[in-house]
Structure 1
Amino acid sequence: MSPDAEAVLRERWSRSQRYITAFSVLLPALQFLLCTAIVMLTGDGLFSVAAVPLVPVAVAAPALRHWLRRQTPLDPSSWPPAAFLAVAVQQLSIAIPAYGIATGRTPDALTGPAVLFFGSWAVAVATCPSAHRASRALLTPLAAELGSADLRLTLEVRTAVSGPELVSARIVLDRDRVEWTVCLHAGRGRGARLERSVPFRDLIRVMPVTLPVVPESRPWTVLPGGITLYAGAGPGVVLTTIEDEWLLPVHDAALVTELLNRRRDLWALGTG
């Protein structure tokens, strides 16, 4: 990371790290203690059959922490799903079944197992928002200096579709390329999907533009199946490559241009 970017992002890193510690260390450890206590209250102690699932519960937190340390580049958008997965493993493998065993033997709703079980759910509910806050503390508001950090950045795209279809689009700045993905959501799954990728070695120029009001919108890309996405009036970025030129409608053309240029400079330093 460049010195100027480090100076700007230092406070963000610090705040984000506190939330990372919370969702990857403190809350999973507390969850493990609660699950262990529930198993103890089943009546057979730690060596009961109900204690066997404590192994994945104990492994979930170190595995999540190890995965975070090994992320290269860091991908803050993946932290909430990873936290949710760790919580799901802990709840489904031991908290729910052990609570069922414990309350089957002591059915009084005010007994210890019930209190511990609801405590485990409180910890589970707190874990995912902590991961989300870790991501937001680092990325919000979006700053140009983030382009100089070893992060996988996800940016929004301005898109419109003329029909009732539900479409999502995003731009991703990776270590050595810029990618954009457009997905058509059909029913419970995904329908047509369009992916484009431009390696930095092929990128000649990044230029901010302003799309005029007239025409009000223009075709931006066409999904497989013939669905056309439109870019309305407003900011955009033009990527010029060796063989082609691409328009990306964005919310802040100047900021996205700076992010792209910084990321390309970071890539050039790594290959130089």
Structure 2
Amino acid sequence: MIPMIDSPQVAVALAARWHHARVLLLASMVGLPALLVLICLTFALFPHPAVSATTWSVIPVVVAALLSVALVAWLRRDGLTDPASWFPATVLMTGSQLVFGVVPGFGVALRSATGTAVALKALLALGILSAGSACSLARRACRSLLASPVAELGSTPLQLVFRSSLSRIIIGTDRVDWTCRTAGGRLDAGVSFRNLHDVNITMASVDKGTSPALVLHTSSGRWTVPAHEAAAMCALLRRRKTRWEQRVEAAIEQERARYHEMMRLLGAAKATSSTDDGSVSVTVNADGVTTGIALTEGIQGKSPQLVSADLMVCIVEAHRIVRKQVQHLMVERYATKQRTEALPALAQQVAELAA
């Protein structure tokens, strides 16, 4: 299934696209880069008369293997949600494998090995063909997944990029950006979902007549963006905006629940401090208000001044204890590093929803 999808309807609707794209993606970013590593390893395994040549032949293998691992790690961490980056990432990594792995390995093997020039050249040609095929398959994977806009794509976390002869539209998880040609040149603009009020379609004038276009009603005005399959794009964009609103509402509800839980725990927080002989005991709540004082028979024979001093000591100690409890609840338990880093984004989302 597409990562981060929990809707069976969306999964079924996109199953054919995702299956084809996944096969192409695995071939371009896993299979063919691994083949390049094997080619470098084959170069290193050719017999070398000198020990130094053997050492140098290992370096291209290590470099190619590290680049292959880095490509797979990027794909698993960030790459799956950004189909538009599959092609440039594959070009960068497989090109680097070719330049820093296959070609140097071929050079070392050609200088050292004897009578195997034809086999080495064949392996070099295979490496070049593999790198080129990986780039082509990565491009095809992106195109097969985003071949045409459908509403179900709006329920995915994918960064959606749609290109046509008239415009380029990028639909993210919280905003939409576009580039289109105008009479005065090229227009680059964008709007966040906070400022996007509505989307519909119209017919717009272009160079060769009229064409369907998206109409974006935003806080800064009305924007007309020519788009291929504008009706499907409109449905997709509306679903993506609805998904963003649901995420913001869920985040607000989660914060509200955490706040009520914290208030409940703070209301139940209290601390009690007693003297060593137990004759004086004081209880305070989270607000520092004294809620209970207990005096036992141990105060008999003590002067009023000593009893007052014991009370003050117990009050101060109880305040210290309850202060630590409150600090633990508000700082150590709730204000974790991850939540502290997420608070600015949450505050922005709350403001966007309120607007």
TM-score by length of 1: 0.79
Alignment of 1:172-211 (within 5 A): 172-181=170-179, 194-211=187-204
- Cα-to-partner distance string for 1:49-91 (whole Å, 9 max, x where unaligned): 2322322211111111111112277121211111111111111
Displacement of 1:122 after TM fit? Answer: 2.3
Structure 2 counterpart of 1:98 = 105
Shift of 1:182: 5.0
* Match among 240, 250, 259 for residue 263 of structure 1: 240
| Structure 1, unpaired ranges of 5+ | 160-168, 185-191, 218-229
The number of equivalent residue pairs is: 240
Quote how far apart the aligned CAs of 1:243 are.
2.8
Q: Which runs of 5+ in 2 are unaligned?
A: 250-355
Q: CA deviation at 1:142?
A: 3.2
2:146 corresponding residue in structure 1: 139
Give yes or no for the alignment of 1:12 onto 2:17.
Answer: yes
Larger Rg computed on CA atoms: 2
| Identity rate, percent | 32
Q: CA offsets, 1:87-132, max 9 Å, x none?
A: 1111111211221232234465754322222221222122112212
C-alpha contact 1:73 1:175 (8 A) present in aligned 2: no
Structure 1 residues 199-250: Cα deviation after superposition (integer angstroms, max 9, x where no partner): 1011111011123xxxx64xxxxxxxxxxxx694120111001231111011
Match of 1:233, SS state, is strand
SS at 1:201's partner residue?
coil
TM-score using structure 2 length: 0.61
Distance 2:80 2:152 in 1: 15
Letter in 2 for 1:6: A
Query: Which protein has the bigger helix share?
Result: 2
Query: Quick one: distance in 2 between partners of 1:47 and 1:262?
Result: 58
Larger strand percent: 1
Q: Say if 1:158 and 1:231, in contact at 8 Å, map to a contact too.
A: no
CA distance 1:196–1:8, shift in 2 (3 Å): same
Q: Tell whether the 8 Å contact from 1:155 to 1:170 is kept in structure 2 after alignment.
A: yes
**Cα distance in 1 between the residues matched to 2:117 and 2:57:** 21
Runs of 4+ with >6 A deviation: none
Change (3 A) 1:79 1:37: same
